[in-house]
Amino acid sequence: MRSHHHHTWLRSTALGLALLLGAGGCYGPFNLTRRLYHWNGAVGGKWEQEFMFLLLVWAPVYAFTGLADSILFNSLEFWTGENPVEPPRSRSGRPGAPAMRRIVRGEDEAYLTYTTGADGPRLFIEQFRHGEPSGTLLLEYRDGSAVGLDAEGRVLLTARPQPRLQE
Q: What pLDDT digit, counting tens, does each position of 84-128 carry? A: 888 776 554 444 445 777 777 888 888 888 777 667 788 888 888
Please tell me whether residues 103 and 54 are part of one structural domain.
no
Please tell me whether residues 133 and 95 are part of one structural domain.
yes
Question: How many structural domains compose the chain?
Answer: 2
Please tell me whether residues 100 and 76 are part of one structural domain.
no
Q: What type of residue sits at position 2? A: R
Q: Which domain holds residue 57?
A: 1-88
Flag whether pLDDT at 18 surpasses 70.
Answer: no
What is each CA distance from 63 to 33, 77, 82, 85, 89, in whole angstroms?
9, 20, 23, 17, 21
Flag whether pLDDT at 149 surpasses 50.
Answer: yes
Q: What pLDDT digit, counting tens, does each position of 23-72 carry? A: 555 567 888 888 888 888 877 788 888 888 888 888 888 888 888 888 88
Please tell me whether residues 80 and 93 are part of one structural domain.
no
Residue 118, pLDDT score? 67
* Domain termination site, one of 88, 109, 129: 88
